[in-house]
């Protein structure tokens, strides 16, 4: 292929800009140990692969090793050949290729699926997310560029998005399609609430907090598609075109792409103007976020991860900040206990002002006087004796919640996310060469009938201990707690009974034959047949300063340990850092 001198002259500047863009993304924490690349074989992703390869060579291998993930969707007869051709192209760039083939068997004929593009995207990102987890990759580079940004902006305008939504595509985000996948969705590197260290301790009295996961990173958002094509031509890089992307009949984005490319839109809706608007919105959003983070860091906050209850102390200082900052601050606070991944600013905007109403002429506006619900969280204002302490807790579940948040636990030691708040797993003690499954164990919300059954089958000492445990989540808040229910299984089918309560994991209680799983146990208790473990989901809070995390599970012994019943020593204080030797 003949390439003009001008292309060769401009390509180095593109490479230099790319290196600067990439380094800016990990300026704070340093480069990750390995980088993943999502490579479709199109010009965008091949430009990304080429730029990554050139950057690695230019820095004498100081950049992280690269793995390129190629997804074979198996939707066209020549897709397998194309995937292998893309893999060969990556090898020439000295990038290790991995071809991931999607499994459509659960869906039957994929071409008959409604919204096939949406389903394919979800399966594609889930396959790549799991592959990243298996290869120890926490950063996945994708090739979205400035033209994609402009298209997204126009789509959001058409969809009547306003405010921060007009900031366009974010440079970094978790993989939304991988929610609930352990090791990808904000998990995989648990940390101690006491020390903040990312570690797995053998302390069965401490509940760990999850951290880690895989983030999508977009280093090409300031590059136009024309620049990426130019780079590939200068580098004599081959790429594969999906001609359906240019057909305006297939999707709204294709239609917008056609209008943008042919410049038939008004000047205010053309690419450069949209990119300028997005940049201004992102800059303003960053200023708001920075101000909200400063207020958050100074706020007295306590989070009890055993019950999922958070408190924060009222302060007059916040009354004078802008409403957008208040909104961002409330979203941060709600995220400590909310069972949802995304808390929309529009839903919070009016509530934020009622928490910290502004004062005019020395007269303070009336604020929130009664509990209110938002993002499935109940926010309760300070009581008369509350000394300015606000309380936030997961909203008491509705009947629909009770049904939809019911999951059957895998007996393969697999972490599963329950109610968006707790990661829970279980396993059976190994006996001999393996035993058939005899129980179906599920996790759901604690119910009044569960408490009644436990009280009925307990002696007076046990009932007192249970009441003390349950008092940690007073009133109806106890019905937001997880409970493990076991039912007998016969011939692979669960018996038609309500089952029995075998653990209140977030409170540290276990029935006979059950116990908390300890990673450091050198032996297994012969009296215990089943083990469970629990961790709190990732939160932006570290114990220390004005922030406090209560993560110490009560010390509970079952009736097999003490003839007179079990006892519960409920600790209502935060964990203290471990003493150093």
Instruction: State residue 183's pLDDT score.
Output: 97
Q: Bridge-partner residues for 380, per DSSP?
A: 391
Q: Please give the model's pTM, rounded to 2 decimal places.
A: 0.88
Identify which of 342, 341, 365 has the alpha carbon closest to the alpha carbon of residue 354. 365
- In sequence order, what DSSP letters do the residues of 70-113 get, joined into one string? EEE---STTHHHHHHHHHHHHHHTT-EEEEEE---GGGSSGGGS
Sequence spans of domains, the chain: 5-171+218-281, 299-394, 399-569
**What is the structure's pLDDT at 70?**
98
Q: What is the pLDDT of residue 127?
A: 98
How far, in Å, CA of 17 to CA of 381, rounded? 50
Rounded Cα gap, residues 172 and 146, in angstroms: 15
How wide is the angle at C-alpha 306 spanned by C-alphas 305 and 309, nearest 5°? 60
The structure tokens listed for 289 are 């976020």
Cα separation, 340 vs 499, whole angstroms? 28
H or E, element range at 244: none
Q: What is the pLDDT of residue 469?
A: 92
278-313 tens-digit pLDDT:
899 999 999 999 999 999 999 999 999 999 999 999
Q: Tell me how far apart the alpha carbons of residues 168 and 151 are, in angstroms, rounded to a whole number.
A: 9
Q: Is 5-171+218-281 a CATH 3.40.50.620 domain?
A: yes
Residue 125 Rama label (left phi>0; alpha psi -120 to 50; beta): alpha
Dihedral (Cα; 333, 338, 344, 350), 10-degree rounding: -60
Distance CA 367, CA 526 (A): 57
Other CB atoms within 10 Å distance of the CB of residue 429: 14
pLDDT of residue 481: 97
Contacts of residue 98, Cβ cutoff 8 Å, sequence gap at least 6: 67, 68, 69, 70, 131, 135
CA terminus-to-terminus distance, the chain: 67
Residues with Cβ < 8 Å from 47, sequence gap 6 or more? 143, 220, 228, 229, 231, 232, 237
Q: Are 502 and 529 in contact (CB under 8 A)?
A: no
What's the half-sphere exposure (Cβ side, CA atoms, 13 Å) at 463? 8
Contact assessment for residue 21 and residue 219, using Cβ atoms and an 8 Å cutoff: yes
Mean pLDDT by 10-residue block, N- to C-terminus, for the chain (581 residues)?
39 82 78 92 96 88 89 91 95 96 90 87 97 96 93 82 81 94 96 71 77 95 93 90 58 67 73 88 92 94 96 84 92 96 88 77 67 94 78 93 85 91 89 60 94 92 90 93 90 64 94 83 74 95 92 64 42 36 35
- Extract the runs of DSSP E, i.e. beta strands, from 23-62: 35-38
Looking at residue 364, its pLDDT comes to: 57
DSSP state of 114: T
């Amino acid at each position: 292929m003949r390439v003009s001198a001008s292309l060769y002259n401009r390509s180095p500047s593109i490479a230099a800009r790319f290196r600067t863009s990439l380094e800016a993304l990990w300026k704070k924490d340093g480069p990750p140990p390995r980088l993943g690349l999502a490579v479709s074989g199109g010009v965008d992703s091949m430009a990304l692969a080429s730029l990554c390869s050139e950057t690695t060579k230019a820095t004498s291998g100081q950049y992280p090793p690269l793995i390129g993930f190629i997804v074979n969707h198996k939707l066209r007869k020549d897709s397998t050949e194309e995937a292998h051709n893309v893999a060969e192209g990556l090898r020439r760039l000295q990038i290790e290729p991995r071809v991931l083939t999607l499994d459509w068997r659960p869906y039957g004929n994929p071409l008959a699926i409604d919204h096939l593009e949406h389903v394919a995207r979800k399966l594609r990102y889930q396959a790549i997310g799991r592959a990243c987890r298996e290869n120890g990759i926490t950063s996945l580079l994708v090739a979205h560029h400035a033209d994609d940004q402009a298209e997204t902006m126009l789509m959001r305008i058409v969809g009547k998005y306003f405010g921060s939504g007009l900031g366009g595509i974010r440079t970094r985000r978790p993989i939304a399609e991988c929610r609930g996948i352990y090791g990808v969705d904000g998990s995989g590197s648990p940390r101690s609430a006491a020390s903040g260290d990312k570690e797995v301790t053998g302390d069965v009295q401490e509940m760990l907090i999850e951290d880690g996961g895989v983030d999508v990173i977009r280093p090409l958002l300031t590059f136009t598609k024309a620049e990426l094509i130019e780079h590939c031509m200068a580098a004599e890089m081959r790429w594969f075109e999906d001609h359906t992307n240019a057909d305006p009949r297939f999707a709204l984005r294709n239609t917008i792409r056609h209008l943008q490319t042919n410049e038939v839109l008004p000047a205010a809706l053309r690419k450069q103007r949209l990119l300028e608007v997005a940049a201004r919105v992102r800059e303003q959003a960053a200023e708001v976020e920075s101000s909200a983070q400063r207020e958050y860091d100074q706020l007295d906050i306590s989070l009890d991860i055993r019950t999922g209850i958070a408190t924060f102390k009222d302060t007059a200082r916040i009354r004078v900040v802008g409403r957008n900052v208040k909104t961002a601050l409330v979203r941060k606070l709600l995220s400590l206990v909310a069972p949802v991944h995304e808390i929309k600013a529009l839903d919070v905007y009016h509530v934020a002002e009622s928490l910290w109403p502004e004062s005019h002429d020395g007269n303070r506006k009336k604020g929130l006087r009664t509990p209110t619900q938002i993002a499935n969280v109940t926010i309760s204002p300070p009581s008369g004796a509350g000394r300015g302490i606000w309380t936030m807790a997961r909203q008491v579940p509705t009947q629909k919640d009770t049904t939809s948040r019911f999951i059957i636990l895998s007996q393969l030691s697999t972490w599963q996310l329950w109610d968006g708040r707790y990661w829970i797993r279980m396993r059976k003690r190994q006996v001999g060469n393996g035993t058939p499954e005899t129980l179906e164990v599920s996790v759901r919300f604690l119910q009044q009938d569960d408490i009644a059954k436990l009280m009925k089958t307990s002696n007076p000492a046990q009932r007192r201990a249970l009441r003390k445990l349950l008092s940690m989540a007073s009133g109806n808040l106890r019905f937001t707690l997880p409970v493990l229910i076991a039912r007998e299984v016969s011939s692979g089918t669960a018996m038609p009974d309500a089952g029995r309560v075998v653990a209140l994991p977030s409170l540290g209680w276990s029935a006979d034959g059950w116990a908390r799983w300890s990673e450091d146990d050198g032996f297994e208790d012969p009296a215990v047949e089943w083990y469970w473990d629990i961790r709190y989901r990732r939160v932006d809070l570290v114990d220390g300063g004005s922030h406090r995390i209560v993560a110490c599970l009560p010390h509970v012994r079952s009736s097999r340990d003490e003839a007179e019943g079990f006892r519960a020593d409920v600790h209502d204080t935060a964990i203290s850092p471990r003493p150093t030797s």
